[in-house]
Amino acid sequence: MYTEKVMEHFRSPRNMGEIPDADGIGEVGNPVCGDIMKIYLRIRKNLVEDIKFQTFGCAAAIASSSMVTELAKGKTLEEAWAVTNKAVADALEGLPPIKMHCSLLAEEGIHKAINDYRRRQGLPLWEEKKTPHEHGEEPECEPPTGTEPPGPVEK
């Protein structure tokens, strides 16, 4: 079901945790399947100097969170903003159609964190795209089957 790259980022997520006194924080969630993602940014000279995440969700949500931090770290704010859900899914070597919404949450999370930073700096907010969270042909995410270990939880 999942690619080896997804499982690698699920089992050993990169940049998991919290940044105390973060310059920007973005929190997003999907009420249908219960995934909750929080992205923390430290910005220096318009660069994403540090980025961390906390995610409660399935393997795809955790892997998407991990990958978006990898793709954005060290980039300008403009480059980090340009990271799309497709780029996240491609970097993970694919996600099942029913799990593509997880990569969309990662894109939305980084957008919210960047706009939170911009708001704190008194800068105009950038326009966030409004994309519905689609779950393929299924009405909602499949419930845990007991075959996946629970995802990492950072308190």
Look up residue 12 and give its two tokens: 């050993």
Look up residue 41 and give its two tokens: 């940014």
* pLDDT tier at 132, thresholds 50, 70, 90: low
| Element containing residue 27 per DSSP (H, E) | strand 24-30
Q: Taking a C-beta distance cutoff of 8 angstroms, is the pair 33, 58 a contact?
A: yes
* Active-site residue (options: 39, 48, 102, 110): 102
Q: Taking a C-beta distance cutoff of 8 angstroms, is the pair 28, 61 a contact?
A: no
pLDDT tens digits, 82-119: 999 999 999 999 999 999 999 999 999 999 999 999 99
- State the pTM of this model: 0.84
pLDDT at 149 over 80: no
Sort residue 22 into left (φ over 0), alpha (ψ -120 to 50) or beta: beta
Q: Taking a C-beta distance cutoff of 8 angstroms, is the pair 98, 138 a contact?
A: yes
**So where are the chain's domains?**
4-120
Q: Taking a C-beta distance cutoff of 8 angstroms, is the pair 91, 73 a contact?
A: no
- 141: annotated active-site residue: no
| Cβ atoms within 10 Å, residue 14 | 17
- 102: annotated active-site residue: yes
* Active-site residue (options: 28, 33, 67, 141): 33
Fold of 4-120: Sufe protein. Chain: A (3.90.1010)
| Cβ atoms within 10 Å, residue 153 | 11
Distances (CA, A) of 52 to 37, 77, 124, 149: 11, 15, 24, 22
